[in-house]
Structure 1
């Protein structure tokens, strides 16, 4: 297939002046074109490899940025979780303090009531 394309191209080129017209010379030209396109193919392959390397490098950089973003998100989530734990501990401490204060106030109120009852009983005794 490729040789047929080259031969067709050679047929078109044979019409140009200065090109060999004999079959032997046509094969020489074909081999020269093949060799030349092989060199071009090497350059094209090198260019393609550079392009693929650039794509791969870009993908690696993108993956790195994504990993860094994920790590930052993980650190932020851990920080929020720690802040939530601290807030919960502070709320629990405040609730314990409020319960203790309520117990103390109830005990003081009971003590005042007991003192008032005792005074009333003492007053009734001496009436």
Structure 2
């Protein structure tokens, strides 16, 4: 997996994350245990970018704040699923790719946390 480049457009960055997440999750062997984990990770991980785009089109400051908070919440949930999948992965390649996604997702949490705190400080 190609490492994330210094991409500062958050819409592009979250889309890139979602694409890489999908490709990685497709590599994981499917079984009774992995399928629900993959599904949850896919849902939360891809919703970050969708919610960020919704935030950028928000009709009010309050709507923007709520969408950004959802982005932060979904990023935290994704972190949990990535950690859980990594702890059960049998492939070093998959673990490495999961680690890269985990690091990028951790950056999202920091970014969205900063946006939320900036909004609160303005109010």
TM-score by length of 2: 0.28
Pick the structure with more helix per residue: 1
TM-score by length of 1: 0.27
Higher relative contact order (CA 8 A, sep 6+): 2
Answer with 1 or 2: which has the greater Rg: 1
